[in-house]
Amino acid sequence: MSISIHNLTKVYGSQKAIDSLSFDIPKGQIVGFLGPNGAGKSTTMKILTGYLEATSGTASVNGFDVQKEDMQAKNSIGYLPEHNPLYLEMYVKEFLEFAGSLYKMKGAALKNRVAEIIEQVGLSRESHKKIGQLSKGYRQRVGLAQALIHDPEVLILDEPTTGLDPNQLAEIRALIKEVGKDKTVILSTHIMQEVESICERAIIINLGKIVADKSIKELKSAGQSMEEVFRELTGKHNEANNA
Ligand code: ADP
Protein backbone atom coordinates (compact mmCIF):
# COMPACT_ATOMS: atom_id res chain seq x y z
CA MET A 1 0.00 0.00 0.00
CA SER A 2 1.19 3.51 -0.74
CA ILE A 3 -0.75 5.01 2.13
CA SER A 4 -2.04 3.09 5.11
CA ILE A 5 -3.84 4.63 8.06
CA HIS A 6 -5.09 2.63 11.00
CA ASN A 7 -7.26 3.98 13.84
CA LEU A 8 -5.64 7.38 13.50
CA THR A 9 -6.78 9.85 16.15
CA LYS A 10 -5.75 13.42 16.95
CA VAL A 11 -7.04 15.19 20.01
CA TYR A 12 -6.69 18.93 20.56
CA GLY A 13 -7.50 19.67 24.19
CA SER A 14 -10.86 18.03 24.65
CA GLN A 15 -11.72 17.96 20.93
CA LYS A 16 -11.13 15.00 18.63
CA ALA A 17 -10.08 16.52 15.30
CA ILE A 18 -9.92 13.03 13.78
CA ASP A 19 -11.40 9.98 15.40
CA SER A 20 -10.12 6.46 14.58
CA LEU A 21 -9.66 6.98 10.84
CA SER A 22 -8.64 3.90 8.85
CA PHE A 23 -8.04 3.54 5.12
CA ASP A 24 -5.57 2.12 2.61
CA ILE A 25 -4.66 3.60 -0.73
CA PRO A 26 -2.95 1.32 -3.25
CA LYS A 27 -0.14 2.48 -5.51
CA GLY A 28 -1.24 4.59 -8.44
CA GLN A 29 -4.67 5.63 -7.18
CA ILE A 30 -5.87 9.27 -7.19
CA VAL A 31 -8.15 9.80 -4.20
CA GLY A 32 -10.26 12.82 -3.29
CA PHE A 33 -10.30 13.56 0.44
CA LEU A 34 -13.49 15.45 1.14
CA GLY A 35 -15.36 16.92 4.04
CA PRO A 36 -16.85 20.19 5.28
CA ASN A 37 -14.61 22.80 6.92
CA GLY A 38 -13.25 21.50 10.19
CA ALA A 39 -13.84 17.83 9.27
CA GLY A 40 -10.19 16.92 9.87
CA LYS A 41 -8.70 16.82 6.35
CA SER A 42 -5.69 19.05 7.01
CA THR A 43 -5.01 17.34 10.33
CA THR A 44 -4.86 13.95 8.60
CA MET A 45 -2.61 15.29 5.85
CA LYS A 46 -0.29 16.96 8.33
CA ILE A 47 0.10 13.69 10.22
CA LEU A 48 0.85 11.83 6.99
CA THR A 49 3.52 14.36 6.07
CA GLY A 50 5.10 14.29 9.52
CA TYR A 51 4.20 17.91 10.39
CA LEU A 52 1.97 16.79 13.23
CA GLU A 53 2.07 13.86 15.63
CA ALA A 54 -0.99 11.67 16.02
CA THR A 55 -2.44 11.13 19.49
CA SER A 56 -2.93 7.43 18.72
CA GLY A 57 -3.09 5.03 15.78
CA THR A 58 -0.62 4.53 12.95
CA ALA A 59 0.06 5.94 9.51
CA SER A 60 2.53 4.71 6.92
CA VAL A 61 3.58 5.96 3.52
CA ASN A 62 5.25 3.68 1.00
CA GLY A 63 5.59 1.12 3.80
CA PHE A 64 7.36 3.52 6.20
CA ASP A 65 5.78 4.47 9.52
CA VAL A 66 5.47 8.27 9.52
CA GLN A 67 6.60 8.50 13.13
CA LYS A 68 9.16 5.71 13.52
CA GLU A 69 10.67 5.93 10.02
CA ASP A 70 10.00 9.59 9.42
CA MET A 71 12.95 10.29 7.10
CA GLN A 72 12.11 7.44 4.71
CA ALA A 73 8.42 8.37 4.85
CA LYS A 74 9.21 12.04 4.10
CA ASN A 75 11.40 11.06 1.16
CA SER A 76 8.43 9.16 -0.30
CA ILE A 77 6.09 12.17 -0.09
CA GLY A 78 5.59 15.32 -2.09
CA TYR A 79 3.44 17.79 -0.16
CA LEU A 80 1.63 20.87 -1.34
CA PRO A 81 0.26 22.52 1.82
CA GLU A 82 -2.92 24.54 1.95
CA HIS A 83 -2.32 28.17 0.83
CA ASN A 84 0.96 27.06 -0.78
CA PRO A 85 3.49 29.00 1.28
CA LEU A 86 6.30 30.14 -1.03
CA TYR A 87 9.26 32.47 -0.73
CA LEU A 88 8.02 35.34 -2.88
CA GLU A 89 11.44 37.03 -3.03
CA MET A 90 13.12 33.97 -4.51
CA TYR A 91 13.48 33.23 -8.21
CA VAL A 92 11.64 30.15 -9.47
CA LYS A 93 14.83 28.26 -10.30
CA GLU A 94 16.54 29.33 -7.11
CA PHE A 95 13.57 28.16 -5.04
CA LEU A 96 13.38 24.78 -6.76
CA GLU A 97 17.13 24.28 -6.33
CA PHE A 98 16.66 25.07 -2.66
CA ALA A 99 13.74 22.60 -2.48
CA GLY A 100 15.89 19.90 -4.12
CA SER A 101 18.82 20.59 -1.80
CA LEU A 102 16.56 19.71 1.15
CA TYR A 103 16.55 16.18 -0.30
CA LYS A 104 20.34 16.22 -0.58
CA MET A 105 20.29 16.69 -4.34
CA LYS A 106 23.19 18.77 -5.64
CA GLY A 107 25.42 19.78 -8.54
CA ALA A 108 24.53 18.86 -12.10
CA ALA A 109 21.94 16.29 -11.01
CA LEU A 110 20.04 19.00 -9.12
CA LYS A 111 20.27 21.51 -12.01
CA ASN A 112 19.07 18.88 -14.49
CA ARG A 113 16.19 17.84 -12.27
CA VAL A 114 15.10 21.47 -11.78
CA ALA A 115 15.16 22.02 -15.57
CA GLU A 116 13.18 18.82 -16.09
CA ILE A 117 10.52 19.65 -13.50
CA ILE A 118 10.16 23.25 -14.80
CA GLU A 119 9.41 21.79 -18.21
CA GLN A 120 7.02 19.18 -16.82
CA VAL A 121 4.85 21.63 -14.88
CA GLY A 122 4.78 24.18 -17.72
CA LEU A 123 6.89 26.89 -16.05
CA SER A 124 9.51 27.35 -18.77
CA ARG A 125 8.43 30.83 -19.79
CA GLU A 126 8.19 32.04 -16.19
CA SER A 127 11.23 30.34 -14.76
CA HIS A 128 13.45 33.45 -14.78
CA LYS A 129 10.97 35.41 -12.63
CA LYS A 130 10.63 35.93 -8.92
CA ILE A 131 7.80 33.88 -7.40
CA GLY A 132 6.15 37.11 -6.22
CA GLN A 133 5.80 38.21 -9.86
CA LEU A 134 3.80 35.13 -10.86
CA SER A 135 0.01 34.73 -11.12
CA LYS A 136 -1.69 32.43 -8.60
CA GLY A 137 -1.94 29.64 -11.20
CA TYR A 138 1.78 29.77 -11.87
CA ARG A 139 2.53 29.88 -8.17
CA GLN A 140 0.58 26.64 -7.84
CA ARG A 141 2.79 25.18 -10.56
CA VAL A 142 5.83 26.18 -8.51
CA GLY A 143 4.21 24.50 -5.49
CA LEU A 144 3.62 21.34 -7.49
CA ALA A 145 7.18 21.46 -8.84
CA GLN A 146 8.61 21.64 -5.30
CA ALA A 147 6.37 18.72 -4.27
CA LEU A 148 7.65 16.67 -7.22
CA ILE A 149 11.32 17.66 -7.15
CA HIS A 150 12.54 14.43 -5.51
CA ASP A 151 10.25 12.24 -7.62
CA PRO A 152 8.21 10.96 -4.65
CA GLU A 153 5.90 7.98 -4.93
CA VAL A 154 3.06 9.76 -3.10
CA LEU A 155 1.64 13.26 -3.58
CA ILE A 156 -0.38 14.94 -0.84
CA LEU A 157 -2.18 18.03 -2.08
CA ASP A 158 -4.18 20.15 0.37
CA GLU A 159 -6.76 22.15 -1.58
CA PRO A 160 -4.48 22.62 -4.59
CA THR A 161 -6.96 24.65 -6.65
CA THR A 162 -8.50 26.96 -4.06
CA GLY A 163 -8.57 30.56 -5.26
CA LEU A 164 -7.76 29.87 -8.90
CA ASP A 165 -9.74 31.37 -11.76
CA PRO A 166 -11.57 28.96 -14.10
CA ASN A 167 -8.74 28.82 -16.68
CA GLN A 168 -6.04 28.25 -14.10
CA LEU A 169 -8.28 25.70 -12.43
CA ALA A 170 -8.63 23.63 -15.57
CA GLU A 171 -4.88 23.81 -16.21
CA ILE A 172 -3.86 22.78 -12.70
CA ARG A 173 -6.39 19.93 -12.71
CA ALA A 174 -5.00 18.67 -16.00
CA LEU A 175 -1.50 18.91 -14.58
CA ILE A 176 -2.43 16.96 -11.44
CA LYS A 177 -4.01 14.29 -13.62
CA GLU A 178 -0.90 14.12 -15.77
CA VAL A 179 1.63 13.93 -12.92
CA GLY A 180 -0.71 11.55 -11.08
CA LYS A 181 -0.42 8.94 -13.84
CA ASP A 182 2.50 7.23 -12.15
CA LYS A 183 2.00 8.39 -8.56
CA THR A 184 -0.39 7.83 -5.70
CA VAL A 185 -2.25 11.05 -5.01
CA ILE A 186 -4.46 12.14 -2.14
CA LEU A 187 -5.98 15.57 -2.57
CA SER A 188 -8.43 17.53 -0.51
CA THR A 189 -10.90 19.83 -2.16
CA HIS A 190 -14.28 21.48 -1.74
CA ILE A 191 -15.01 21.27 -5.43
CA MET A 192 -17.07 18.25 -6.35
CA GLN A 193 -16.49 18.74 -10.05
CA GLU A 194 -12.79 18.45 -9.35
CA VAL A 195 -13.24 15.12 -7.64
CA GLU A 196 -15.23 13.83 -10.58
CA SER A 197 -12.70 15.01 -13.12
CA ILE A 198 -9.51 13.90 -11.35
CA CYS A 199 -10.25 11.18 -8.81
CA GLU A 200 -11.35 7.59 -9.11
CA ARG A 201 -12.23 7.28 -5.44
CA ALA A 202 -13.42 9.59 -2.68
CA ILE A 203 -12.99 9.34 1.06
CA ILE A 204 -15.50 11.63 2.75
CA ILE A 205 -15.06 12.61 6.39
CA ASN A 206 -17.29 14.56 8.73
CA LEU A 207 -16.55 15.56 12.33
CA GLY A 208 -13.35 13.52 12.22
CA LYS A 209 -14.96 10.25 11.09
CA ILE A 210 -15.19 8.53 7.72
CA VAL A 211 -18.73 8.66 6.34
CA ALA A 212 -17.97 7.15 2.92
CA ASP A 213 -15.04 5.51 1.16
CA LYS A 214 -16.03 4.44 -2.35
CA SER A 215 -15.33 4.85 -6.03
CA ILE A 216 -16.94 7.93 -7.57
CA LYS A 217 -19.02 5.56 -9.67
CA GLU A 218 -20.40 3.79 -6.59
CA LEU A 219 -21.04 7.08 -4.80
CA LYS A 220 -23.13 8.29 -7.71
CA SER A 221 -24.84 4.97 -8.39
CA ALA A 222 -28.23 6.20 -7.18
CA GLY A 223 -28.18 8.78 -9.96
CA GLN A 224 -27.27 11.68 -7.69
CA SER A 225 -24.67 14.34 -8.35
CA MET A 226 -21.57 14.44 -6.15
CA GLU A 227 -22.97 17.63 -4.55
CA GLU A 228 -26.09 15.73 -3.52
CA VAL A 229 -24.06 12.77 -2.26
CA PHE A 230 -21.86 15.11 -0.22
CA ARG A 231 -24.83 16.95 1.28
CA GLU A 232 -26.60 13.73 2.18
CA LEU A 233 -23.52 12.27 3.90
CA THR A 234 -22.37 15.36 5.77
CA GLY A 235 -25.54 17.40 6.15
CA LYS A 236 -23.67 20.35 4.63
CA HIS A 237 -23.35 22.11 1.33
CA ASN A 238 -19.85 21.97 -0.03
CA GLU A 239 -18.44 25.48 0.28
CA ALA A 240 -17.31 25.96 -3.29
CA ASN A 241 -19.72 24.51 -5.79
CA ASN A 242 -19.35 27.47 -8.09
CA ALA A 243 -16.34 26.19 -10.02
P1 ADP B 1 -10.30 20.63 7.65
O2 ADP B 1 -8.95 20.59 7.02
O3 ADP B 1 -11.17 19.48 7.23
O4 ADP B 1 -11.00 21.95 7.47
P5 ADP B 1 -8.85 20.61 10.16
O6 ADP B 1 -8.05 19.35 10.14
O7 ADP B 1 -8.16 21.87 9.85
O8 ADP B 1 -10.14 20.41 9.23
O9 ADP B 1 -9.53 20.76 11.59
C10 ADP B 1 -10.21 19.71 12.27
C11 ADP B 1 -10.68 20.21 13.62
O12 ADP B 1 -9.56 20.39 14.48
C13 ADP B 1 -11.40 21.54 13.59
O14 ADP B 1 -12.45 21.51 14.50
C15 ADP B 1 -10.33 22.54 14.01
O16 ADP B 1 -10.91 23.65 14.65
C17 ADP B 1 -9.50 21.71 14.96
N18 ADP B 1 -8.09 22.16 14.96
C19 ADP B 1 -7.25 22.14 13.91
N20 ADP B 1 -6.03 22.59 14.28
C21 ADP B 1 -6.10 22.89 15.59
C22 ADP B 1 -5.18 23.39 16.56
N23 ADP B 1 -3.90 23.66 16.25
N24 ADP B 1 -5.62 23.56 17.83
C25 ADP B 1 -6.89 23.28 18.18
N26 ADP B 1 -7.81 22.80 17.33
C27 ADP B 1 -7.44 22.61 16.04
Q: What is the pLDDT of residues 112-163, one digit of tens each?
A: 999 999 999 999 999 999 999 999 999 999 999 999 999 999 999 999 998 8
Q: How many domains does the chain have?
A: 1
Any domain includes 30: yes
Any domain includes 192: yes
Among protein residues, the one whose CA lies closest to atom 24 of ligand 1: 12
Any domain includes 117: no
Any domain includes 122: no
Gap from CA of 207 to ligand 1 centroid (Å): 10
Cα distances (Å, whole numbers) of residue 176 to 49, 157, 242: 19, 9, 20
Q: What is the pLDDT of residues 62-75, one digit of tens each?
A: 999 999 999 999 99
Among protein residues, the one whose CA lies closest to atom 17 of ligand 1: 17
Atom of ligand 1 nearest to the CA of 46: 6
pLDDT at 243: 37
Largest CA distance in the chain: 55
pLDDT at 241: 44
The ranges of the chain with pLDDT < 50 are 241-243
CB of 37 closer than 6 angstroms to any ligand 1 atom: yes
Atom of ligand 1 nearest to the CA of 39: 3
Among protein residues, the one whose CA lies closest to atom 23 of ligand 1: 12
Q: What angle do CA 160, 13, 206 make, to 5 degrees?
A: 45
Residue 70's CATH number: 3.40.50.300
pLDDT at 239: 62
Any domain includes 176: no
Cα distances (Å, whole numbers) of residue 25 to 1, 166, 212, 214, 238: 6, 29, 14, 12, 24
Gap from CA of 16 to ligand 1 centroid (Å): 9
CB of 190 closer than 6 angstroms to any ligand 1 atom: no
Any domain includes 227: yes
CB of 39 closer than 6 angstroms to any ligand 1 atom: yes
pLDDT at 122: 92
Atom of ligand 1 nearest to the CA of 42: 2
Any domain includes 120: no
What is the residue range of 240's domain? 1-76+156-165+183-243
Gap from CA of 161 to ligand 1 centroid (Å): 20
Any domain includes 86: no
CB of 8 closer than 6 angstroms to any ligand 1 atom: no
